[in-house]
Structure 1
Amino acid sequence: MKTVLITGGSGLIGRKLSRLLVEKGYRVIWLSRERFLKAEIPRYRWNYQRNEIEIEAVEQADIIIHLAGSGIGDDSWTRQKKQDIVESRVQTAQLLLDTVKGLEKKPDLFISASAIGYYGSDISQDLYTEDSGAAHGDFLSRTCRKWEQAAFSFQAELNIRTVVLRTGFVISKNSEAFRKMVLPTRFGLGAPIGSGRQYLSWIHIEDLCHIYLKAIEDSGMKGVYNAVSPEFISNADFMHTLAKVMRRPFFMPNLPAFLVRLVMGEAASIILGGSRISSRKIQDAGYQFLYDTSEKAIGAALKAIGETEKRVRGGR
């Protein structure tokens, strides 16, 4: 039984991925803010700001999956928030690398999350592949470059197979961002955001977690992969699809970009921009998507939300 060490395990992706890995027969442990070894998923303590880490957690790891990072869309990008976004990804990876260097037994694999923000927030018809260059003068793109560079240090310095997954918008019943789309649409108030012409590159959480699993089990996978669905869809069409699946009217005018910027500041670029991102490389590696259209993915997430709400009502 191989042991998988996950950072950021308590997040949206980490929890779902942990359950999948346990189902597949892996032993899963987390690096967390607090030590709690009797938890369902044992947790070991680390604090990158103090350069502290429980070495015994890393010693056990056959595979490290690095998901840790301050939320990108949680708050406005103040100077402090930007610093937190970068350091919580890059310094954590460096702490892991420094720790692994001191171990006799090294992990076989290092997998790191990244984001399609690497390609920038321009709205265009360009098709971005893993070989496309990073955007210039874009905070999120600069962050992703540093993030990925830190990850590939495991390959460059220790010859550990390294995989980086550039992830798009995650559709899940537990995604706050997705639920923020669902709520107004439920009341017939769904609308395109900004111009609506920007592409929304998405992935259902089931597919994302299975791509992580494939990266573990397919020794031929290394380097960067875009973790997005094969579908190219604009924000306007995505919101229209959401309304269609929910059987709600869709007639509201676009939510003006200036209002989004007023609320989110520079972070608004996450949802106001976006071009087409290719999933061809992961498909060529043999991955077959469970949810290849937004209609299927939205339907599955809404069904899961409905089942959860029904259980909550039944428990009262």
Structure 2
Amino acid sequence: MTEISPRKVLITGGTGLIGTRLAEMLIDSGYEVALLSREPAKSSHFRSFRWDPRAGTIDDAAILYADYIVNLAGASVSDGKWTDERKRDIMSSRLGGLALLHRELSNPRHHVQAFISASAIGVYGDTGDKLLTEETPPGLPTHDFLADVAHQWELAAAPIAQLGIRTVVPRIGIVLSTEGGALPQIARPVKLGAGAALGSGKQYMSWIHLDDICRLFIAMLEGAAWEGTYNAVAPNPVTNEAFTKELAEVLHRPLILPKVPAFGLKLAMGEMSEIVLASQRVSAAKVLAQGFRFEYPELRGALEALYGGE
């Protein structure tokens, strides 16, 4: 009997928060995993191939390895203030990688069956309490850097879909993990007894547990029906005030302080305050209709899973 070799997934941005956990879960599900990295030595836990999107160079064997590609590459939007140089890096690190992948995938020698290219719910802009679906048009990029980044990111993935490769674009919400991302930064003042809602506290936060986003990505790889754009968020978004209260209860800490005023956040963070002050109430209906079931559909359960031992 011939052995069926494991399906192979190539991940760009594989050393980030999502990529690290996704690689572990793929291995547990019987896949082989390799990373596409600018510094392969850092990611020696997995097989890795070198690429440099700025220089337009990539290991010839990388694309030929893959049955599936998950593209998470892009400079973090939450590391450091948004100087003009930082903003250029955030944008170019996303677009350059996709241009390089498109160039390589245009060569018919590969056997890539599906391509997942990350986007973010920032694409919708700051929209108050309006319920946002995949049909909602992008926010106005002239007024909103995050909306512009996510919109350009999606446009740069479109040529890969035009090659006839099944392409899925998950618009990722606030990923909850104790290992990185927004949650440890939100939790730090709460743990010190100095937690408070940010700005008005009425802005909506559309979140997803790290394990659920990785399970969703695996479903998108495996199911031929997944194609196009999906909101990658749990079904129950909450306001910032409700989020902060739930977190304080799970951490057994009081909330004593009044709200942190928006002008104070803008002074401290500059334009980057958009990340915590923008309101996005995002629908998960399309993902649910596709048959996906969340392990953590409610915020309380997600936070207890992450902080239950504290």
The TM-score, its normalising length taken from structure 2, stands at 0.95
1:110-149 equivalent positions in 2, closer than 5 A: 110-122=115-127, 124-136=128-140, 137=142, 138-149=144-155
Q: Give the AA of the match of 1:218.
A: G
Deviations 1:194-230 (A, max 9, x none): 1100001100001000000000111100000001111
SS of 2:21's partner is helix
Q: Is 1:258–2:269 an aligned residue pair?
A: no
1:60-75 equivalent positions in 2, closer than 5 A: 60-75=65-80
Q: Is 1:185–2:190 an aligned residue pair?
A: yes
Residue in structure 1 matching 2:161, options 152, 155, 158 = 155
Q: Which residue of 2 aligns with 1:47?
A: 52
Counterpart contact for 1:36–1:42, Cα < 8 Å:
no
> Counterparts of 2:40 and 2:212 in 1: how far apart (Å)?
30
Residue 37 of structure 1 and its aligned partner are, at CA, apart by: 10
Deviations 1:56-112 (A, max 9, x none): 011111101000100011121111111111111111011011012124124111101
Identity of aligned residues (%): 39
Q: Which runs of 5+ in 1 are unaligned?
A: 307-316
Q: Which runs of 5+ in 2 are unaligned?
A: 1-5
The TM-score, its normalising length taken from structure 1, stands at 0.93
Q: Give the AA of the match of 1:126.
A: K
> Counterparts of 2:239 and 2:203 in 1: how far apart (Å)?
5
SS of 1:6's partner is strand
RMSD: 1.4
**Equivalent residues, number:** 303
Q: Is 1:297–2:310 an aligned residue pair?
A: no
Residue in structure 2 matching 1:19, options 24, 27, 32 = 24
Q: Give the AA of the match of 2:34.
A: I
> Counterparts of 2:60 and 2:265 in 1: how far apart (Å)?
44
Q: Give the AA of the match of 2:164.
A: N
Deviations 1:126-166 (A, max 9, x none): 1100010001122111111111111121111x100000010
> Counterparts of 1:58 and 1:150 in 2: how far apart (Å)?
18
Query: In proportion to residue count, which structure has more helix?
Result: 1
Q: Is 1:194–2:199 an aligned residue pair?
A: yes
Q: Is 1:279–2:299 an aligned residue pair?
A: no
Q: Give the AA of the match of 1:152.
A: A
The structure 1 segments of at least 4 consecutive aligned residues displaced by more than 2 Å after TM superposition are 34-40
Deviations 1:204-263 (A, max 9, x none): 001000000000111100000001111121000100000111111112100111111112
Q: Give the AA of the match of 1:154.
A: I
